Amino acid sequence: MSKKNKREDTTSKSIGEIIFTNVFTLFNIVNITLAVCVALVHSYKNMMFLGVAFWNTFIGMYQQIRAKRVLDKLSFLSQGKVRVMRGGQEMEIYREDMTKADMMILSSGAQICNDGVVMEGRCQVNESLLTGESDWVLKDFGERVYSGSYVVSGYAKAAVLHLGEDNYIHNIARAAKKERSINSEILYSVKFVIKIVTILLLPMALLSFGKQFFLLDEPLDKAVVATVAAVIGMIPSGFVLLTSIVMAVGALRLATKNTLVQDMYCIETLARADVLCLDKTGTLTKGHLQVEESLSWEDFDREEIRLFCMSMQDKNATLQAIYHKYRDREKEEYNPSSYQVEFSSERKWSMAVLEGKGSYVLGAYEMIFPNGQEEKIKNRIRQEEERGKRVVAFAYSPSCKHEDELPQQLSLRCLFVLGDRIRSEVRETLEFFRDNDVDIRIISGDNPVTVSQIARECGMENYKKYIDMSYCENEEQMKKILKKYKIFGRVTPFQKRRIIQLLKEEGHTVAMTGDGVNDVLALKEADCSIAMQAGSEAARNVSHLVLLDSEFKSMPDIVMEGRRSIQNLQRSATLYLVKTVYSIMIAIFFLFVPFPYPFQPVQLTLIGALSIGIPSFLLAMEKNYGRVKGNFLRHILGKAIPGGILVFLNILASLGFTMLFDYGEAARETTVFFAMAAASMIVLFYLCTPFTFMRTILFGGITSILVACIVLFGGVFEIVRVPWVTGLLLAALISADLLFYKKPHC
């Protein structure tokens, strides 16, 4: 039975993987182990923390599965069709419908989806996703092509050798993204917190149990419950879950804006981006070229350019625009040339050799006539480029040699002036980025003067700071150029990538938009890459985000969504680390004092759910559009440590107060619980400032629920009556907290 290609799910985990990764987390395993310990001593109500773990896990799975379904639908819509020869006819089919009987048609921009062998024509192929080498490889008759590589230029037909998993690398598009390390401070921070907590968890549990059971002679059940309480508070399980949920919700919201998220963590890098590199064609302009004027010489024959266009198999945008101008509907027969040199971003010209006629070359004038440019022609080209137009030259040579070099005795036949329309929303979009502290760089393969004029029409302030990168000779020169200029013309694909690398080396977070094959290397290098759906398949496959409507005006909404997600995540993550900080401090402190650990797991569950769990998820969904700056972990620790210290000091003060007034053990533990609850609510109070209507409802509702639980269900939470002076203590603590715990800490 013949194999068929499978549509690769590159956008998200499978449902099984989502369930597995949410259920079998380190923190869930620890929670279950602690619950078993509590159950063995028959203290079942202290197992309530399992309810929090369950709902956290359930919410995480629900949000991620929901996001997966939406993204998979978008992913299916974004799947490009492939061109094949089937039954002697050329047609477009979905990749998964291809069979070995089909002949693959390989043209510029297409990613090769199956291993094959070239049977007709030739093309240049970039195999960097397979080999790591950036050099382009010429594929001629009888040579193998491999899935995962993509066509840079040329036109060829290749027989299919392998399908599905038999391909050399059957999931190369996914592998291309996996090879690139994830640039996420949040991910690093989560891993660091997990590492630290894991290191502390076991020794703290053993020391706490040893102290309770052996030194204080506490009964086994009380020692186990106290140990579980000490350890459970240290686990920031909601922190990990919250990160996943915020990313999933962010991807869902972007999906409503016709944006496919192929890497969840790109939401963070997009929120941090301070430099945006733009390709001109297809991003700032619509990418639909048209011939606006032709400047011909006496020996120019319209039939020559028509035959040239028809003979070339590689139909790029420039060629299509010229052919549309000079086509003859009564003469649509295909007349392949005896030899072709396809256009590439490196050489910037293409050539067709027509037997008995000579060689015809189309491309940049300065590339075709590098040593013999006429001043009059150069001035005319400069005038058109200053108007933002693209000028290409059409030249002829009587030579019929089959070589990849420019022929001798070239003479100019015609100059074609081509124009592209500016997208209507570009000016407002660039203004948005300027107002939001994002530096704009335009990187294009076009003439720098043309690019500069396009930038002027788009309202870019630094449109005069442009340079021709074809004169850039070395690394040091490029570094100096990068500091001085904002617009780069005549940029090769390798220079585009190096520009991105140098910007990153300077400490910038770089986002890049593009749609062509010449953008692929730079897109893969960028911290966050955005491709247009209407662009090349290769560009879409290596990008983090795909704009399904190919509209540049969607960019502000995407950036704002990223900022909202990460800014709110920073605020909410602070709550979890506040608990971790004070739990570690309390656990260590009570190892060295002659008192048992004062909290029950059920009490910590109540405080955690009300002052951390519920508020964190609600605050994480608010609007918050400031650009994300600074180190994520340092930022949240800078807020969490003062909060943790505040709670710890409240506990110490209340403990000293109960010793002074000779409280009993039950009253002492209740008083310490009240002090911890008061400090936790103060931290939440400052995180809610400035108060909006929703934040007022949130804080008021949480406070009311906490009071109701204490008054109505005190027995469940091991809360007893305390002396009336405890009220004075709490009033003093709250006043001191409000006075000394200033808003800047939050």
Q: Give the catalytic positions in this structure.
A: 279
Burial 388-420 (b: 16+ CB within 10 A, else e): bbbbbbbbbbeeeeeeeebbeebebbbbbbbbb
651-679: burial string, b at 16+ Cβ within 10 Å, e else? bbbbbebbeeeebeeebbbbbbbbbbbbb
C-alpha dist (Å) from residue 105 to 187, 522, 603, 619:
41, 26, 68, 52
Burial category of 330 from C-beta neighbours within 10 Å (exposed 0-12, middle 13-18, buried 19 and up)? exposed
Per residue in 633-646, is it b (16+ CB within 10 Å) or e — as a string?
Answer: bebbbebbbbbbbb
584 Cβ contact partners less than 8 Å away, ≥ 6 residues apart: 200, 204, 234
In 237-315, where does DSSP find H-type helix?
237-255, 266-272, 302-311
Distance CA 444, CA 488 (A): 6
Contact call for residues 20 and 80 (beta carbons, < 8 A): no
Query: Would you say 124 and 151 are in contact if contact means Cβ atoms under 8 Å apart?
Result: yes
Query: Distance from CA of residue 455 to its chain's centroid?
Result: 26
Cis? peptide before 690, omega within 30° of 0: yes
Q: Match 């979890």 to its residue by tokens.
A: 576
DSSP summary character for residue 389: -
- Find, among 395, 347, 408, the residue nearest to 138 by Cα: 347
The C-alpha atoms of residue 229 and residue 45 are separated, in whole angstroms, by 13
Amino acid at site 738: L
DSSP states of 613-646? IHHHHHHTTS---SPP-S-HHHHHHHHHHHHHHH
d(CA 620, CA 565): 7
Give 358's contacts (C-beta < 8 A, 6+ positions apart): 396, 397, 398, 399, 400
- Looking at residue 595, its amino acid is F
Q: How far apart are CA 103 and CA 161, in angstroms?
A: 10
- Assess contact for 569 and 616: CB atoms under 8 A: no
Direct distance between the N- and C-terminal alpha carbons of the chain, in angstroms, rounded to an integer? 64
Nearest to 23 by CA among 240, 326, 274, 339: 240
Strand partners, 392: 416
Helix ranges (DSSP H) in 136-219: 172-179, 185-210
Q: Which two tokens stand for residue 374?
A: 């006429």
Sign of CA dihedral 100, 102, 106, 112: negative
**Is the sign of the CA dihedral 457, 458, 462, 464 positive or negative?**
negative
Question: Across the strands, what pairs with 395?
Answer: 361, 412
Please identify which residue in the block is written with the tokens 């020869």. Answer: 85
Core vs surface per residue 611-626: b (16+ CB within 10 A) or e = bbbebbbbbbbeebee
Q: Report which residue type is found at 402.
A: H
Using the 8-state DSSP alphabet, how is residue 112 labeled? P
Give, for 417, the enclosing helix (H) or strand (E): strand 411-419
